[in-house]
Chains A and B, each alone.
Chain A
Amino acid sequence: MTDVSNKIREEAGKLLEKGEVDVIIGFEKGSIPLSATPCFIRNEADIEKLIWNEYCGNNLSLYLSKARGKIGIIAKGCDTRAIVELIKEKQVQRERIVIIGVPCEGMLDRKRIMIRCQSRNITGIEDQGRQLLITGDSLNVAVEKDEFFYPACQVCANRNPVMCDVFIGNTIEEQKTDEFTDVTDFNEKPSEERWAYITDEIDRCIRCYACRNACPLCYCKECFVDATQPQWVGKTIEQSDTLSFHIMRSIHLAGRCIECGACERACPVMVDIRKLNRKMSADVKNMFGYKTGLDIDQPAPLSVFKPDDSEEFILDI
């Protein structure tokens, strides 16, 4: 990891020095254990701040449409897929960004590790390859990394950047991930069980909209949940309103969600938001043969149609 950090600093330094970019969006050390924070480097003097480790989960493409000037961005596989979609949707111009691509073997879920550590104060973390030795106030646990990768990382099919200008490190082997077997498995359960699971999750939602704010593709100036004329979705935390919000969000992201899991990472109450988004991704792939964030020239599935699209669901009399 330190190799990668050094390489990132070197490349970022070059870009800033040559004046090819005005700002580098990357990660710096987080203020709490097991975390990394997005940072914006404008001076070469600050380049040493940049780091790379297994806590760099945030999808930095979120900041692309907000930053000014030419931008250098450190991007994982999922981040580059988001960038492809953002370019396609004309939220950022390709000429304006320099992508520093970094392959990623998965990011660790701080919240779940903290639960494993019973939320005690952590004073020391020792990285032993496949294991983390965590010590702290009456705490001494060994954490198997494999168990604590984010759910989105566990089914990630693009660990290598799909598009980049500077590539850091070596290409890694892609996971032989299932093709949405998690969605199919869930769909095979009886309707009552699915409803019980979904409502159980949704009932925890406090409508903080952290999922929306963390999502690189949720860039609307006015979100439908903020609109009041007309107000389609109620603002209460009643199950019906909350669920409507999540259904509509998944529909708005259908064919656009790049499955980075930013929504789930941002959620303070750990709602399984990806359950809905994964379903839409599976449908978009099965019905329209589209996979998001891979090809800039492929039009978004809901902006086009084929005369012979499936009519299975149409009531035919």
Chain B
Amino acid sequence: MGNKETSWEPKIIAFLCNWCSYAGADLAGVGRMQYPANVRVIRVPCSGRISPFFILSSLQNGADGVLVSGCHPGDCHYLTGNYSARRKFALLKSQLEHIGIEKERVQFTWVSASEGGKFAEVINRVTETVKALGPAKRLVKKCL
């Protein structure tokens, strides 16, 4: 592991919806925008597809942070997927904070297909906050 203080980089899992945020991430790439390489992207059909299981499982298996991003409310490809997701995520985030998991570890945001700049900024912000928190210790599996 070497010198943890300087060499540690957070691992962040990003669940991006196919129609908006994934395209936004693509646009950030095409536009040659710089953002940290800490993020591992998983493409899902819709933010409504994301089960709390995905998020818990990420945290259990070594992610230091999780980002979920979908279409802006009203812009969902399936019309209402992100509205349903919003209620679900509000509860999950609140519960995780309640039991004592740092609330900054799990983040939710909306990025549209035209917001390449916003995507880069979101990744910057999330990476910074997770880095400041340090490696995840709570809810992490000890033996995999």
Contact = CB atoms under 8 A, between A and B. Distances in A.
Contacts of B140: 240
B131 interface: no
A288 B94 CA distance: 14
Interface bin, chain B: 35 or more
A31 interface: no
Interface stretch (A35-43, A103-111, A118-126, A191-199): A191-199
B141 interface: yes
A317 B97 CA distance: 21
B109 A247 contact: no
A301 B52 CA distance: 17
A183 B98 CA distance: 9
Interface in A176-202: 183, 186-187, 191-198
Contacts of A284: 91
Interface stretch (B3-11, B23-31, B32-40, B118-126): B118-126
A315 B90 contact: no
A148 interface: no
Interface in A9-23: none
Nearest to B106: A313
B88 A232 contact: no
Interface in B38-93: 51-53, 56-57, 60, 73-74, 80, 83-84, 86-93
A285 B4 CA distance: 44
A3 interface: no
Contact of A232 (B57, B96, B109): B57
Given A192-B100, A232-B57, A315-B122, A251 B94 contact: no
Nearest to A308: B73
A191 B105 CA distance: 13
Interface in A294-317: 301-302, 305-307, 309-311, 313-317
Instruction: Give the interface SS of chain A, mostly helix, strand, loop or mixed.
Output: helix
Interface of B: 51-53, 56-57, 60, 73-74, 80, 83-84, 86-102, 107-110, 118, 121-122, 125-126, 138-143
B60 A244 contact: yes
Contact of B95 (A186, A192, A232, A276): A276
Contact of A244 (B56, B83, B86): B56
B100 to A, nearest CB: 3
B100 A313 contact: no
Nearest to B92: A251
B84 A302 contact: yes
A283 B90 contact: yes
Nearest to A198: B99
Contacts of A239: 142
Interface in A210-262: 224, 232-234, 238-241, 243-244, 247-248, 250-251, 254
B81 to A, nearest CB: 10
Contacts of A316: 109
Contacts of A186: 98
Contact of A315 (B95, B99, B102, B125): B125
A133 to B, nearest CB: 41
Interface in A263-287: 276, 279-280, 283-284, 287
Contacts of A198: 99-100
A243 B141 contact: no
